[in-house]
Amino acid sequence: MNSQVSIIIPNYNCLQYLDTCINSIYQQKNVQFEIIIVDDGSTDGSINYLQRLAAEKNEVRIFSQQRKGVVAARNLAITQAKSEYLAFLDADDYWSADKLASQLAFHLKHTDCVLSFTDYMHFNEQNEDIIGCFNYWPEFKCNKESKDFQLLENPISQMITTNIVGTSSVMVKRSAIVDVGGFDNKLSSATDLDCWLKLAKRGDVAYSTQCAMHYLMRANSITANRENRLAAMVEIINRNQSVVSNNELKKIKARLSECYGEFYRELGYYSKALAYSYKAFWLFPHKRNFKHVLYDLRHLLGAQS
């Protein structure tokens, strides 16, 4: 039987997580799938594990590349995928048992939907749950009573301001992601968000409050590449500002300023943090932004006294 979903997994030195990741796929029921794994030049023995897996499982296909990065790995897998729908899963994340079936059923019923995603749980390297992603965002948290997929009303604005889409929770229509050119390797970061926004211009975007994926928060990745991501966000906003309203654009720019404030606050640069906090509050007078202004001002005055 032909596969309904191609599962795309980029891997770089994730040998210790692969068993959990792969086992979560084989717990999926009532879905025909293929698994495409692209190893990005691992040095931890991953490739040996993957070759053994492919020898045992006909639905597993392995490709290798020499440290071209996750963008190139995902794009390579997209070119090799045979199914109508693609699901992304990073090698250090894993799914809940009914994730694929419910997501695929929605796509098959709503053929105009080009992208869907779910809530997900952050967990640490001690395998302890931290918090669900949607808990950060009241507009998504309030809909937790229903696990059914529902459409985003303003997907471009909502996805930029919240950055709520976890890549390992995503399913997309293959034809749509091919049409938009996959992931942009020219961006320094946030290529996943950029891709989701391009897809949102091609069709509907849906989400479910079901916590269907676990996302690993590695200790060395929490603040890594933050500056690159912020620079990429500026480019992404410039690419999309013509398709959002002025009010939405203000909220988006306020959120970007808030992120810059968080970045400089963590570094202890409170004068820069205050400047961005004030800009965020001026663009979008929200109590959270006002609290940031007071916090930065208090620390700045304290440092000068």
Model pLDDT for residues 122-156, shown as the tens digit of each residue:
999 999 999 999 988 877 765 666 779 999 999 99
pLDDT digits (tens, 9 = 90+) for 91-126: 999 999 999 999 999 999 999 999 999 999 999 999
Going by pLDDT thresholds of 50, 70 and 90, the confidence category of residue 2 is confident
* Cβ-contact 25, 35 below 8 angstroms: yes
Going by pLDDT thresholds of 50, 70 and 90, the confidence category of residue 221 is low
For the domain 5-216, what is the CATH superfamily, name and number?
Spore Coat Polysaccharide Biosynthesis Protein SpsA; Chain A (3.90.550.10)
Integer Cα distance of 100 and 87 in angstroms: 8
Q: Is 204 helix (H, G, I), strand (E, B) or coil?
A: strand
Going by pLDDT thresholds of 50, 70 and 90, the confidence category of residue 283 is very high
Integer Cα distance of 73 and 39 in angstroms: 7
Taking alpha carbons only, the member of 156, 246, 154 closest to residue 193 is: 156
Q: Is 143 helix (H, G, I), strand (E, B) or coil?
A: coil
